[in-house]
Amino acid sequence: MDIINLETEQSNQASAHIDSASTEEIVRIINQEDHKVAPAVQRVLPQVAQAVDIIYEKMRAGGRLIYCGCGTSGRLGVLDAVECPPTFGVPPEMVTGLMAGGPPAFVKAMEGAEDDRELGKADLKAVGFSAGDALVGIAASGRTPYVLGAMEYASSLGAPVIALTCSGHSEMSCVARLTINPVCGPEVITGSTRMKSGTAQKMVLNMLSTAVMIKLGKVYGNLMVDLKATNLKLERRSIRIVRQSTGVTEEQAREAIARCGGSCKTAIVALLCGFTPREAEAALVKADGHIAKVLEK
């Protein structure tokens, strides 16, 4: 496949002589190019918002968000997925990252795996992907066979398919229901899409998962009230969140969290509404997990 016309493969005149630049000049050139990423992402915010709403509707009905990518793109999907359980208290399978070559490819490059179209389909089948789930295919070039195979399979099931790519008029956009296309221009090192393209993809993935979790009631104000306190830092954060939300003392917050099985969200509702833990849990279920909705009532 000829990739010569892809935006991600073009030569960047701003870094044409970077090999003879001083150290400070090198990092300055990289930084100047990085400044182009946020505006590129800003231009596609309407598409990001549409994607959030599509994913939210599936997850609200019990579906999952599946990321699929290769190389840097695949690793970014996996990274975003594995951060969701501790941050938002969701089961690990609710947001899953698949990458060509499987888990070993996360730490050791297996670039050849990306050329296997059938592997993308097989990996989706292996996780039981269905029409009730949502797929986000990630590839800076927009033409990676592994990702296209997964997208085509997901589309054949009737599932929503979203493309995240940094090249315009891509093959992936022809398969996807919706394309998010932050075009950042040529990379500092020609074709090294782990740089600006990777940064843009990371920014968009952060928005997708975070916005969906906010809509699912995993955030109160701007606090991660559904976090899992799996270490000392997160235990301290849990106490701080309860104190900040309710105005109680540290000891009262600690006791409330313990009574509520370690749940910040339940503890907050119990303290603010004078509920027992069971009453707080029931109120949250009726409010689709949103503390603000409980308090409104």
Active site residues: 83, 114
Give the tokens for residue 124: 């989706």
Give the tokens for residue 2: 């000829």
DSSP state of 223: B
Show the 3-state SS of 80-117.
HHHHHHHHHCCCHHHEEEEECCCCHHHHCCCHHHHHCH
- CA–CA gap between residue 274 and residue 107 (Å, rounded): 49
Residue 291 phi, psi (nearest 5): -60, -45
Contact 209, 51 (CB under 8 A): no
User: Which residue is associated with the tokens 């968000």?
Assistant: 65
SS3 225: coil
